[in-house]
Chain A
């Protein structure tokens, strides 16, 4: 199969394994920060005067001035309990945004509002405004199924379908009519598995069950499955929390490779991970967004006392 099909533009992103840890602390030339939406008191506007700190700023000059997703004063209620209070965050095309905070602080809840996964919880109610490319995702014109195809998701626990590896990846394209012929589907599956860094490990056993893979491989399979429908944004909800350090390193490397191709938002409990993989970090506490800014700033020079306490391990 792989001899027959030339693969175009699959793994063109340079492998940045060496850059993983260094990325967050690298200082770059100064550019102005993206404007914070007006009426947004919660996002601390601390970065406009500071030097920008990540390598994607060069891209930012000509593109991505408008955020890919814009959340404005989003609140989520589970029954009477308010789980999220007026959160406003922008997620950019070519950056990784990390959400950190102690358990139960609302970061996963916020992530799930971005592709309306909270719709599946009968008691959940979402208020506020969320845009994808300027389109309100909660409007009647936005089809939730199409939205989830554009905003893919990777979950905390690897959850491949109990089907073959091929079927796991091919399922999304098939239901969205992306691959009409078997050859097209095979091409998509191969491309997605290659992007997820799993191709070499599974190419000879695509018909085996997805369950037979190791935990880390399963999670990469889930990422391949999300990539296969060609999303614009990928949401990751603690993707490494069930994995060992080696599998975690592979996933982090993968996130680096995927950056630039997709807007990525990742929830993590692991602050080193946030520092390693993200360019923007948001710190949540008790349902509120405490601080949001460049990862380097959040970790080296937080403006909020609570952020500092959390990062230095005083609570959380």
Chain B
């Protein structure tokens, strides 16, 4: 006790140290728990989706012998070689032929063995080989949705029995559903495809990015680098920050009111969808762009000004290239949000049933999230796997787009 300096009791410092380590451990466990929980959710989502969705990319086909000369089909093989072959096939009663052939081969219960997909497939095979009409042949055709579901999972007793019968005769096989990737929406789940929605999404996002990216970046550059700080720019800044938080359905209503009712642009077209999504995405890009521009070190601006660069040269030669990775990150976030957006597009009529892929940005179209929404609403059990399959396509589309953006960002990234 002779020393004037206060000596800390050894045991108390040990306790404090233990407490500190314990707190650290608790925090680490909490973090691990959070990460584990989110990983679990993600794994569940991915597993559930692939479980239900991957079968949507396959399709059962059944073999059926058709004796064309003796069928009721009235078709001229010569007409099938012309340019209007599709119309000729569409006019013929292919369905009747199929039902008759199926019933003749597999019994009376087999009248629903084939659906729209089989009719389309038969038509295609006839156009490819018109000589079929002169003989009898055994053709592999996609089965109807009910039988498809029965073959993949469980279904009603009649369908199950038919499947068993087909399997025992080796008249049933599983194939890759190429139609799903090249066809559009249909009422029969065995005939639906994702291509129409995929193309609609692509066109819509194209319109969005072409409008939102340059306008958003230029607005950010102007507000951050050129605008003088006053009440007006403050008001604009607050408005932009608020716009980024506006629910998307409001943008849909705005698009409906302005683009459809006032400007009379075509309904449910990618052009209008893109315009609406561009309105929604722009604030996000402006905010991200301004943050990226602010984070460029002022010494670079000084350096460029110091050698006599004008304000514009400073911005476009030095500041903007350095801010580009950050701007691109913001754009990715905005685009990902736009890509998954459903509500505003419903408002401008993109929920219509559209059975043909759009040929341009003014054609009627639908987009992937809306297609998923529409299919999830269907009663037919065949749509369940199609919905999941469409979700997989949407996520892959997103993955490709984000991958591209990240690649671009890394290419432009410069260190200083």
Contact = CB atoms under 8 A, between A and B. Distances in A.
- Pair from one complex: yes
A199 interface: no
A161 B318 CA distance: 8
A224 to B, nearest CB: 11
B299 A145 contact: no
Given A159-B299, A159-B300, A162-B414, A175 B305 contact: no
Nearest to A172: B307
Interface string B71-95: 0000000000000000000000000
A310 interface: no
A122 B228 contact: yes
A157 interface: yes
A155 B308 contact: no
Contact of B308 (A120, A162, A172, A222): A172
Nearest to A123: B229
A176 interface: yes
Given A120-B305, A211-B416, A145 B310 contact: yes
Interface in B137-190: none
Contact of B322 (A146, A147, A152, A162): A162
A85 interface: no
Contacts of B415: 162, 209, 211
Interface string A138-150: 0000000111110
Contact of A160 (B303, B309, B313, B317): B303
Interface residues of A, number: 29
Contact of B305 (A146, A148, A171, A229): A148
A62 B64 CA distance: 111
B233 to A, nearest CB: 12
Contacts of A162: 300, 322, 414-416
Interface residues of B, number: 22
Given A122-B228, A161-B318, A162-B416, A229 B299 contact: no
Contacts of A145: 308-310
Interface string A117-150: 1001010000000000000000000000111110
A220 interface: no
Contacts, number: 70
A120 B301 contact: yes
Given A162-B415, A211-B416, A117 B302 contact: yes
Interface string B373-416: 00000000000000000000000000000000000000000111
B270 to A, nearest CB: 39
B303 A149 contact: no
Contacts of A240: none
B49 interface: no
B306 A157 contact: no
Interface in A148-178: 148-149, 152-155, 157, 159-162, 171-172, 175-176
Contacts of A149: 307-308
Given A171-B317, A211-B415, A148 B303 contact: no
A154 B416 CA distance: 18
Contact of A155 (B229, B303, B310): B303
Contacts of B322: 162
Contacts of A225: 303, 307
Contacts of A161: 300, 303-304, 318
Contacts of B304: 161, 171
Specify which of A117, A157, A159 lies most central, judged by the most chain B CB atoms within 10 Å of its CB: A159
Nearest to A154: B306
Interface string A236-259: 000000000000000000000000
A226 interface: yes
A171 B303 CA distance: 11
Contacts of A209: 415
A157 B299 CA distance: 8
Nearest to B306: A153
Nearest to A119: B305
Contacts of A157: 299
The 7 lowest CB-CB distance pairs between A and B, nearest first, are: A149-B308, A172-B307, A159-B299, A153-B306, A148-B308, A162-B416, A159-B303
25 contacts: A117-B305, A120-B302, A120-B305, A122-B228, A145-B308, A145-B309, A146-B308, A148-B305, A152-B308, A153-B302, A154-B306, A155-B302, A159-B303, A161-B300, A161-B303, A162-B300, A162-B416, A171-B304, A172-B308, A172-B309, A175-B308, A175-B313, A211-B415, A211-B416, A225-B307
